A and B are shown apart, each in its own frame.
Chain A
Amino acid sequence: MANKKVTIVDTTLRDGSHAIRHSYTEEQVAAIAGGLDAAGVDIIELTHGDGLGGSSYNYGFSKVSEFDLLTAASAKIKNAKLAVLLLPGIGTIADLKQAQKCGATAVRVATHVTEADVSAQHIYAAKDLGMMAVGFLMMTHMASPERIVEEALKMESYGADYINLADSAGYLLPADVKARIEAVKNAVKIPVGFHAHNNLGLAIANSLAAIESGASYIDGTLRGLGAGAGNAQIEVLSGVLKRSGYEIGADFYQLMDIAQEHIDDIMLRPQTIDNGSLMLGYAGVYSSFLLHVYDAVKTYELDPRDIMVELGKRGMVGGQEDMIIDVAYQLKQNLEK
């Protein structure tokens, strides 16, 4: 396995956007994207945390339009691919075309793990536009490896350049990651990647398990900035991969430097595993629900853990932030009865 090349995908400017409530400015993204590019990161993802078109009441409004942010970032990028996330049902092909005009060269089309067929339209469009297209399956803890294979094969058939499996709830244990990555790797002809969340403190361990099981693209963020307890901390991941004998394009020291210079100051809260994040991982709930649950708790005076357990029981999927209000309202009604 030594000297195997691993492609680093930085999503500080996309998943990290959740942790700072979508408040990135043009100056911030220019500095961070420029730094990541200079450090040798292969792919830099930038959009609202919920992808193109995510700016909304449901997911939080962006301080600055993602198209302006893309333009600012692309001006500083010389080598890396600038990627956007697109969730069919939220973002559209019209948004993708606009993003391309602003400098995006790749798109990750994300669907719930059992719903890959809704990505066909967007993957076809991306290929027609000459963009790299990634099939991105979310909440992979909610389906068996066999089912995930079926969905990955669909995305491959639409023309995806690689398949990314996301542990969106930070729920998977290393053995679960291994089973999923191996199954998909054995079934598809394209590369496989992995996106971790740290809700159970396993983001780095799971990322390493994914790579050892055949994944060659790996997601991370500076300082781990991301939804819930955050993602695999990219500077840590780089150190771990170097120690493990993998070849990564990015410079370890430079990544540490960008994190210290540009991320520490913009963090709204330390990216630790607080009780709410731990419950996300434990109950299998979509990580970006965290801050919305904290908001609902203020309005409805409830224990955030009760809301998360109920969301988990109901089988809510990514994007259903509106159901936090529903759950909070129903729990409050029951308490008052």
Chain B
Amino acid sequence: MDAIRTEVMRNRFAALVEEASIILYKTAHTTFIKQTQDYQCAMCTVEGEVFAYPRSNGVATLVGLSLKPAIDRIGVENIHPGDVIITNDPFSTEGMCTHTPDIFTLRPIFHEGELLCFSWAFAHVSDVGGAVPSSISPSFTEIFQEGLRMRPVKLFREGELNEQLKDIISDNCRIPSETWGDIIAMCSALSSMDRRIIELVERYSVDDLTAGIREVLAYGEAKAREVISDLPDGSWSFSDYIEVVAGQPLLLRCTMTVTGSDVLLDFTGSSPQVQAACNFVTGAAPHPALVRCFVAYLLSSSPEMPMNGGIVRPIRTRAPKGVIMNAEFPAASGNRAASYTRIYDLVLGCLNQAIPEALAGGGGSQAAIIAASVTDPLTRKPRVSVIQPLIGGSGGRRSMDGIDAIDTPFGFLRSAPTESVEHEMPFLVRRFGLVTDSFGAGRYRGGAALEIELENRSHEATFSVRGCDRFTFQPWGVAGGAAGHCGGGWKNGEPVSMIELQKLGRGDRLHLRSPSGGGFGDPLERDPEAVLLDVRDGLLSEARALVDYGVVIRDGALDLQASGAARAEAKARTEPQDGLFNVGAQRRAYETDWPEPSTVALSIGLLEAPSGLRSAVKTWVTERQPKGADPETVNALLKEGLAQIL
């Protein structure tokens, strides 16, 4: 590594991708890009490895992306100057694209006939056809419902637009001109990166460029290995559930193995793919969704970590074909964000075990967005608007409390001003704030839940909360911290399902509450002053201060003597916790009937069945599985069920 060239090139690369990211943002047309920054661009090597990635704008989590499958699909020998490759197909790109609205584009950069690297851009366009506007519904069962699908094909051939392809795209979108506008915005970003790379080559040389690429990647890898080496060697497993398919908690599982400066994340034991849109496709390379938490850990551990694919080189992933995170054709994947979120929690659970003092409790971790639709009285057309994200507090962290109202992996999201929401839609927001006594207790407490109360002022309005989860299983506490709480929904004070659409008449009130974060560490060790502060701030009642923390507060003041006694008594009363995690009463009760090892055995065993029969076999087994059955019993049932059904 050349000490100077590495840093000069790292800065040059960073500048040119930041610039292209701004161009893409500025010239794109549709809402997802403008409002939720769901787009990105980057530079990658001839082998498809990202060597420069923006920090300031766009999606933060794709730094470890591999573009190799798309390049291989076309064949590098068939790629010429001026080509632009386009695709949105998860299956032919090994999950490079993760759902159909994410359109990916790639442009080779040549200098004097030599292929130097690729520029890349993606955008979540607002619609690619399919069964519903915006092309996503959690209940879809196969990708054909999710709109137009394009394997990697050439949109431009040596600078010439493939008009027929453009027509096909346009004919298969509800808003063809906007979608095409987004594609052209991506092409502008690709060209900008191309131009800047050529300028670099002319200022320095091809050799400096290629050496620079090699060096910045090596620098990223070295920094990541430094952080990983600080973890002890060993192997740790963690399971958690998603509840997005009604009445059927789906177990996801990760085993993290650290060997020196290498990491393996193995998702064996996770639920087979389901007839719903929470699946996604991955391939041989470590998929960004699988390594997201680990990458967050790397970036948090070293603020100087370069943003490039070098940092995922030490990470390998394994997910058997046919599980939710490595789904087979033709699985639907529009709503894969639900699984992404829980996978983040799995790896966090493993890191908590690997790091001697643990890291953080589980957060609200639902990727939920409240949206509403009303019919415009004048035009009779429906008006749809995103109201607010409803995520939930983060878990308590090893040196600080959790974040109130939002979870760590969603820290990039922004809420809308209430005053704007009330102008856009005919609602009054009656309340938008934190919930008292909502967080998981801990030495460092979890983040409080967020609550919103909406009053309809129109004839009729329809609400949906896409991405809700954590209906019965609480966000877990760690290292003695208590579990957080689940969220909920109420219409005029009566509980309602968060999955179903809610219709509100004039004057009806809808009340939605997010989950809250689990605590970190023993609440009895929390600084009494911090407990007092929460009480003064109205986030904790005096009663809970005594019960959860053994802290006595009278008339707004600490009674340290009484607290000492209360803590001693509480310490004597509480049974020592078995294990690092407090997963909460609901999950403990569920796992008494459906033990985790048995569910894992079932998931693994089901993969033996032909993929088309797995769902039937699973139903056959679970209908006969006695409460509390051990893995052997489940395996025996599996064998029998398989024989019966075959």
Q: Are A and B bound to each other? A: no
Q: Chain A interface (Cβ within 8 Å of chain B)?
A: none
Binding site for A on B (CB under 8 A): none
